[in-house]
Structure 1
């Protein structure tokens, strides 16, 4: 592996009139399929933690991906999660790939879940971080409702939204922030049009698929599934992870202590230990 999170070139693949930005690097001398990574609300490729992405790339290729209109991608931002998922599937096919693993964080988790549900033959394994199902519990903390959409979020916003409340958690937040900004040519921030479109998409995601059995559709997703959250997620309540774990036929659930929405950023080494084992597990 010669490239890294810091050095991987930003490339584009054109699908239906949009140029989707992506970065792809990692270990190609492996039987593991590439891991497609879908980011949180407004997030671009440099909102990932290099320690996390490079750690995952030791055993497989990783593909960081910006959806339609997000950050360095072009096109009109989507207002429905299922359309975002279909765009990701189309981009994967345009890259010549027949099988992937997919990891989604927060709103990216909504997309990863729909991608797996709508394109089951494309996905081998599914990883869902700080996210929830259609029709889950939407009750985020009131402060999160005003912090997350802020036009120019700052360190204190990420610290509140993603991390726990202890001094150790605050130290982890500062370390993540430094790693996150290590790359010189950072992705541009997403526009306010992206924020508005994704808020609308989130609202469409809230209603239940079925009132009688709202999570029945999860029981049709048979891919091995990895679910992670912090014990106190202020954005997507942690109980949603339990709803998913109880309904996916083949899921395992991790809840990290003293952590919030971005548990994988607070405990990157612990996450890598669990994630690498999950992705490499046979059967």
Structure 2
């Protein structure tokens, strides 16, 4: 039995260490909850309902706005570790002691920081369109810094940043754009300029190496699924290969003719891969 959907789940609030967090929980009533951490500037309504509802068919799904993001109060952290600390506080206030964790783009930076700091909280990890600390930048689209910095991202901006140049990929992008705006009641507000600046600082910090490059990835012990499109111009696809090669128990899925938003271009197939990964047996050594 499932309760609510992406479109109908009410926005709820809880307080942790003086910060009021906005969140939504929906889907199956039993199973390990799946916490989903979104991309740069994004809140709860930047997800594709086909993805969130598809995953919620078999498990509880939890979306939330980190401190200072969307409908949540407080100040936005300027590092992945700060975002991760806030996430841990939120989970404790929600009473969750074990989760599966899906991080998309910047949410993937935060997810890596979280599992390294609190491996006891996370059963399995999904990293989508993301990179390790001090990852590769070769392959970054020439216009990405300009377009990603627009005060308001338009449909054309999303098509450039998240989808490929082919007719099929752009058609999938336009379909996603409509789904993304399907929820009109109790919609999540956009993050303000202070939050965006803080998240820019987070991205800059994540690009700075600490110690031996990629070594910390070997400390991720959870079974991990890495997903991307074959031509991600936001977070170049080579980074997904690096994650796969350095995380001890990792699997890799690359979608064809797809960019940063591969999960939005192939929502049903993405959900199928993730569901099999989350519900399958733990791999040897995992």
With normalisation by structure 1, the TM-score equals 0.97
Q: Which residue of 1 aligns with 2:12?
A: 11
Tell me, yes or no, if the aligned pair for 1:149 and 1:195 is still in contact at 8 Å: no
TM-superposed deviation, 1:2: 2.9
CA apart distance, 1:132: 0.4
1: CA distance, partners of 2:4 / 2:232 = 33
Partner of 2:228: 229
Alpha-carbon distance in 1 for matches of 2:204, 2:132: 13
Which residue number corresponds to residue 198 of structure 1?
199
- Number of matched pairs: 279
Q: Could you tell me whether the CA contact under 8 Å between 2:3 and 2:29 is conserved in 1? A: no
The residue that corresponds to 2:126 in the other structure is 127
- Please name the residue that 2:281 is paired with: 282
**Which residue is 2:164 aligned to?**
164
Give the CA deviation at 1:254.
0.8
Structure 1 segments of 4 or more deviating over 3 A?
Answer: none
Q: Does 1:77 align with 2:63?
A: no
1:229 is paired with a residue of what secondary structure? Answer: strand
RMSD value, Cα: 0.9
Shift of residue 60, structure 1, vs aligned partner = 0.3
Task: State the distance in 1 between where 2:78 and 2:247 align.
Answer: 26
Q: How does 1:97-246 map to 2 (within 5 A)?
A: 97-139=96-138, 140-185=140-185, 186-210=187-211, 213-246=212-245
Q: CA deviation at 1:251?
A: 0.3
> Is the contact between residue 17 and residue 89 of structure 2 (CA under 8 Å) also seen in structure 1?
no
Q: Is the 8 A contact 1:144 1:161 kept in 2?
A: yes
Structure 1 residue 256 displacement after superposition: 0.7
CA distance in 2, matches of 1:169, 1:95: 38
| Structure 1 residue 106 displacement after superposition | 0.5
Q: For the Cα contact (< 8 Å) 1:37–1:64, is it kept in 2?
A: yes
Distance 1:40 1:150 in 2: 15
The separation in 2 between residues aligned to 1:112 and 1:149, in whole angstroms, is 23
Alignment correspondent of 1:91: 90
Aligned counterparts of 2:122 and 2:190: Cα–Cα separation in 1: 29
Unaligned stretches of 5+ residues in structure 2:
none
Is the contact made by 2:29 and 2:59 (CA closer than 8 Å) also made in structure 1? Answer: yes
Q: Distance in 2 between matches of 1:244 and 1:178?
A: 32
C-alpha displacement at 1:80, in angstroms?
1.1
TM-fit CA distance, 1:130? 0.4
Query: How many Å apart are 1:207 and its aligned residue?
Result: 1.5
Mapped partners of 1:73, 1:198: distance in 2: 15
Contact 1:138 1:206 in 2 (8 A): no
What secondary structure is seen at the aligned counterpart in 2 of 1:272?
helix
Cα distance in 1 for residues equivalent to 2:272 and 2:126: 14
CA contact (8 A) 1:105 1:129 kept: yes
**1:22 maps to which residue?**
23
